[in-house]
Structure 1
Amino acid sequence: MLLGDYNELEVAREVDFGLYLTSDDGDLLIPGKYVPEGTRVGDFLRVFVYRDSEDRLIATTLEPLVRVDEFAVLTVRDVSDIGAFLDWGLEKDLFLPYRNQRRRLRPGDRVAVYVYLDETSDRIVATAKYERYLSKEPFPGQPGDAVQVLVANESELGYAVIVNKAYPGLLYHNEVFRPLRLGDIHTAYVRRVRDDGKLDVSLQRTGYDEAVAATDTLLAALRKAGGTLPLSDKSEPDDIYRRLGMSKKVFKKALGSLYKQGVVQLAPDETRLVEGK
């Protein structure tokens, strides 16, 4: 049986307050409020297994926000003399000991963590010192690849991100044209694989691919808007990003490309699609 993960377990017997499921580690309870309607003895249930407030193994059909050996950004629900307690979607909060914290936390804070099974106590715990658990293997890709990034932290340089749930990455402030929140998950693109193994990433495609994608986006937006957008090369960067999700620099490149193709007409405060295009 996997503690801190999903398991397919057989229903062994029924009691007034739920069902007991059988496992290699003995029978464990799934409380009645989590039992799917119509479940009978002999059926198999897919359940998440963890420990309750009395350290007993317990099963639930609730889906946690993170499993053992995964990274996540979670909200601090409470703090005590021994550490912080994080909301991970289950009744019992996830424990983040003081020794595993970077700084003192307060209720409501968001913190990036790695979740692991403590070998000494056999309990599921979190650590905010997550970097040591990132992959030491070379990134199996190359510049230009599309990747998934989890926004984990913010610094003077930019945002520390976890790439494809395993690799360290950095998204520089000057590459960001939208508000980002810790815990956001975005599609990004590898700009550079550094000598130290970290990845420089961007939320926009690079080079030719970026220009092609931006041109397609602008053209689609014009057609959806009925042929006219209240944007021009004089528009504010925030207005451009809010409507199109691209920087002003990229927008101007796309605008110039469509203008050279004779697809759009330019006005001081708007862009119009040429009729029939």
Structure 2
Amino acid sequence: MKELGIISSLLINRFSPNGAYLALRDGDEVLLPQGYLKGDEKEGEEIEVFIYTDSEDRPVAVTQRPVAIEGEFAVMEVKEMTKFGAFMDWGLPKDLFVPKSEIGKPMEEGGKYLIRVCIDHRTNRLIGVSKYEDFLMTDTQGFHQGDEVDALVFDQTDLGFKVLIEGKFEGLIYKNEIFKRIELGDKFKAYIKKVREDGKLDLIITAPGREKYDEGAQRILDTLSKHSFLPLHDKSSPEEIKGVLGMSKKHFKQSIGQLYKDRKIILLPDGISLA
């Protein structure tokens, strides 16, 4: 079945008490259960669905989208561990099964792990794979310092947080360069700090150069627009600044210097306010 594991737009062939039967490209049909119908659908109408297999390994269509489709990565939480493998929460009624043979680092219930959705061609079922290294690319020559990338946080180490970059590459954000709360599964824009010899990438969260100051200045303005006054100044501790604005003291001082020069804020003995 070509539609297994992906989002497809399929035509409604017919209706039954169980739901609507949708036409597949190979001539077969797949059931969209009654619970996913609004009630005003018609035969011949096109509907967007995701197809996987139910608890009895029968193909079934749903209008829900899982956190990842076939060939994609996502950080998922373990709902249940068994001697055969792990069942992951991926946003659908039936959990995604990660066979024991496809588990990399040890997993435990309630933990969050990077999982790739794959098709097990022996059983024609969707499974999860936590051995993510097998799918990553190592040729990072196309990246350059300062490039903006999409980052997905998937693991924490003594050095910092491992991130998946553009869904294909591995990177690291060092903990001493993080000035906001980060959790596994977070997605955000990050910037290439260094391309390492082993092909992996070091990242920073704050944009380098002028963009960094502009980003910090805008964050301060946004906060001031809500509170009118901030009890932060050049004598404030790095911890206070990080707790309120999520930035380093150096970044804060550079940003308020820019805002003061542009006459957008007023510097007071005990803090700052909008001009």
Please report the TM-score for the alignment, with normalisation by the length of structure 2: 0.90
Q: CA distance change for structure 1 residues 261 and 32 in 2, over 3 Å: closer, same or farther?
A: closer
Aligned with 1:64: secondary structure? coil
Q: Quote the residue 1:75 is aligned against.
A: 77
Q: Quote the residue 1:230 is aligned against.
A: 231
The one-letter code of the counterpart of 1:231 is L
Q: Which of 34, 38, 41 in structure 2 is aligned with 1:39?
A: 41
Q: Quote the residue 1:185 is aligned against.
A: 187
* 5+ residue gaps, structure 2: none
Give 1:206 shift. 1.8
* 5+ residue gaps, structure 1: none
Structure 2 distance, partners of 1:102, 1:144, is 32
Residue 19 (str. 1) matches residue 28 (str. 2): no
Residue 125 (str. 1) matches residue 127 (str. 2): yes
Structure 2 distance, partners of 1:25, 1:194, is 50
Q: Residue 140 of structure 2 contacts residue 200 of structure 2 at CA under 8 Å; is this kept in 1?
A: no
Q: CA distance change for structure 1 residues 92 and 219 in 2, over 3 Å: closer, same or farther?
A: closer
Structure 2 distance, partners of 1:177, 1:154, is 15
Q: CA distance change for structure 1 residues 6 and 220 in 2, over 3 Å: closer, same or farther?
A: closer
Residue 250 (str. 1) matches residue 256 (str. 2): no
Number of residues of Structure 1 aligned to a counterpart in Structure 2? 272
Give 1:182 shift. 0.6
Give 1:125 shift. 0.9
Q: Residue 139 of structure 1 contacts residue 167 of structure 1 at CA under 8 Å; is this kept in 2?
A: no
Aligned with 1:240: secondary structure? helix
Q: Quote the residue 2:147 is aligned against.
A: 145
Aligned with 1:217: secondary structure? helix
Give 1:88 shift. 0.8
Deviation string for 1:86-134 (max 9, x for gaps)? 0111111101111222344332111111111122222111111112212
Deviation string for 1:178-220 (max 9, x for gaps)? 2211101111111112222211111111234323432343345
Does 22-31 or 178-187 show the bigger shift? 22-31
The one-letter code of the counterpart of 2:151 is V
Q: State the identity %.
A: 37
Aligned with 1:218: secondary structure? helix
Structure 1 distance, partners of 2:100, 2:13, is 39
Q: CA distance change for structure 1 residues 9 and 213 in 2, over 3 Å: closer, same or farther?
A: closer
Give 1:249 shift. 2.0
Q: CA distance change for structure 1 residues 39 and 197 in 2, over 3 Å: closer, same or farther?
A: same
Structure 2 distance, partners of 1:53, 1:63, is 18
Q: Quote the residue 1:87 is aligned against.
A: 89
Structure 2 distance, partners of 1:266, 1:146, is 36
Give 1:139 shift. 5.3
Q: Residue 150 of structure 1 contacts residue 183 of structure 1 at CA under 8 Å; is this kept in 2?
A: yes
Structure 2 distance, partners of 1:189, 1:208, is 13
Equivalence map 1:197-276=2 (5 Å): 197-222=199-224, 225-226=227-228, 228-258=229-259, 264-267=266-269, 269-273=270-274
Does 133-142 or 44-53 show the bigger shift? 133-142
The one-letter code of the counterpart of 2:12 is V
Q: Residue 138 of structure 2 contacts residue 200 of structure 2 at CA under 8 Å; is this kept in 1?
A: no
Does 176-185 or 117-126 show the bigger shift? 117-126
Structure 2 distance, partners of 1:261, 1:64, is 46
Deviation string for 1:60-93 (max 9, x for gaps)? 1111111011110011111212001001111111
Aligned with 2:80: secondary structure? strand
Q: Residue 150 of structure 1 contacts residue 185 of structure 1 at CA under 8 Å; is this kept in 2?
A: yes
Structure 2 distance, partners of 1:80, 1:25, is 38
Please report the TM-score for the alignment, with normalisation by the length of structure 1: 0.89
Q: Quote the residue 1:134 is aligned against.
A: 136
Does 124-133 or 235-244 show the bigger shift? 235-244
Q: Residue 145 of structure 1 contacts residue 189 of structure 1 at CA under 8 Å; is this kept in 2?
A: yes
Q: CA distance change for structure 1 residues 271 and 29 in 2, over 3 Å: closer, same or farther?
A: same
Aligned with 1:255: secondary structure? helix
